[in-house]
Homo-oligomer: A and B are copies of this chain.
Amino acid sequence: METVSENRAFGGIQGVYTHSSESCHCDMTFGLFLPEEAKLGPVPVLWYLSGLTCTHENAMTKAGAQSWAAEQGIALVFPDTSPRGEGVADDEAYDLGQGAGFYVNATQAPWAPHFSMWDYVAEELPALLAENFAVDMERQGITGHSMGGHGALTLAMNLPGQFKSVSAFAPISNPTAADWGRKQLSAYLGDDEVAWAKHDATIMMKERGFDGPILVDTGTSDQFIDLLRPEALAAAVAERRQQAVLRLQPDYDHSYFFVSTFIEDHVSFHAEALYAD
């Protein structure tokens, strides 16, 4: 693992690191904010999964999460959204290939074996963090924006016990029924829709739910709301009687201005769960 940069921020350190990834068969870069408390011992961890076109950097510089994470003594992890590099397949469209890993393990050419973002986020990066930094992997929460909200919700429901809390900003909530989803799941996983189900938050909510609290914010003026299908997830949450807070925020859109407005609430929400017991 190599240090790309470390900047003092909010009394802690905002670092960027690169490492050779076994899951993705390429070098991967991630951001990690460690609050001052990490000097004294392991701190809880909040994952932030980003949306289409993003790298590790967008949320790290634009979401404003560090201010609140520092206040709560929580680390923030900002993974990249896909494998990258010259030997990695790509597509001309912004919503497929590099920058659009969709948090799945691709089984189809030309995406396999590089596009294994599920394994990368669920297993490889957590192990790397545990080995190299003062983070308490018994206290993890996960959030994300758009495609990253989809990743946060599906990872949390598929990996019971791994995350104490999950939240999302404008998540892609029902990708098996939307153009943001069918295209990518078909490309990465093939046409057998049975393999898609675990990557659909609405289906997972119907089948399994989440053993902990959920917070989801979506803007009523989100320009992509028809692709996100918050109504499908909302119905599934209510049907299951899942502990959750689903908020439709008046006049907010899909931008980082929306994310940064509500990130304080999300960090506080996770802190409450991460410090419980």
Contact = CB atoms under 8 A, between A and B. Distances in A.
Interface in A1-50: 7-11, 14
A257 interface: yes
Contacts of A61: 61-62, 256
Interface stretch (A95-103, A239-247, A258-266): A258-266
A264 B70 CA distance: 14
B253 A8 contact: yes
A66 B256 CA distance: 12
Nearest to A264: B67
A181 interface: no
Contacts of A11: 261
A260 B64 contact: yes
Contacts of A10: 257, 260-261
Interface of A: 7-11, 14, 61-62, 64, 66-67, 219, 221, 251-253, 255-258, 260-261, 264
A258 to B, nearest CB: 7
Nearest to A14: B257
Nearest to A251: B8
A8 to B, nearest CB: 4
15 contacts: A7-B253, A8-B219, A8-B258, A9-B257, A9-B258, A9-B260, A10-B257, A10-B260, A10-B261, A11-B261, A14-B257, A64-B64, A64-B260, A67-B260, A67-B261
A257 B253 CA distance: 25
Contacts of A221: 8
Contact of A7 (B7, B9, B67, B255): B255
A7 B260 contact: no
A252 B8 contact: yes
A37 to B, nearest CB: 16
A66 to B, nearest CB: 7
Contacts of A219: 8
A147 to B, nearest CB: 20
Nearest to A33: B257
A11 B261 CA distance: 8
Nearest to A253: B7
Interface centre among A8, A64, A67, A252 (most CB of B within 10 A): A8
A39 to B, nearest CB: 12
